Amino acid sequence: MAYVHTAAALQRVREVIEDSAGTLRTTPPDRFDGDAPGGLGDEAILTRALVRPRVEARITTQRPSPASPPVGGNIRFYDVVFVVRVTRVVTPIEQLSDDDRDALFALCAEDVDVIAQALGYPGNLSATEGGTPTDIMSGVLVLQDSQTEPRGAINDGAQPVETTITFLGRLISRPAIST
């Protein structure tokens, strides 16, 4: 039986963001690093994000798409929500300086655009670097929204600023219809 390739889809999203994979509208090399799993404490993420912003991508929702053919068919569509979290460091100086803080939040907004262009360019998400199909229809994710928020108290020294970017994609599954 064939199942939807969610692992390959998530792997490809990471390749495009972290490794500048894709054919056009790729992320700049060395702009982002991975290694930022959810649940990581602020101190650990700050240490990692000092080098460059850290990203984490995950699938948060998967539901049957209303565009799916009837249940008995051999094709099924799923609407899948991908969430990309980018963590940057805001220094004590940036916390207190309007100009520095504005520049940091401008970079956060630019992160959204850079990632949205890379994940939204047709074909960039069609298959992993190893050639495994992702089952993402049209090979694109569509930006839904983003939110940027600092975490922690201003007097605690450096603090993380998290940008959460939400994308919607449609995955195709080809279930077996006979044995």
What is the CATH code of the structural domain delimited by 6-173? 3.30.2000
Q: How confident is the model at residue 2 (pLDDT cuts 50, 70, 90)?
A: low
pLDDT at 174: 72
What is the rounded CA–CA span in Å between residue 64 and residue 78? Answer: 5
- Note the pLDDT tens digit of each residue in 25-58: 889 888 998 877 777 777 777 777 778 898 999 9
- Note the pLDDT tens digit of each residue in 5-21: 899 999 999 999 999 99
Domain definitions of the chain by residue range: 6-173
pTM, to two decimals: 0.89
pLDDT at 170: 95
Q: Do residues 55 and 27 lie in contact, with contact meaning Cβ atoms separated by under 8 Å?
A: no
pLDDT at 176: 59
Q: Do residues 51 and 33 lie in contact, with contact meaning Cβ atoms separated by under 8 Å?
A: yes
- Note the pLDDT tens digit of each residue in 107-158: 999 999 999 999 999 999 999 999 999 999 999 999 999 999 988 766 667 7
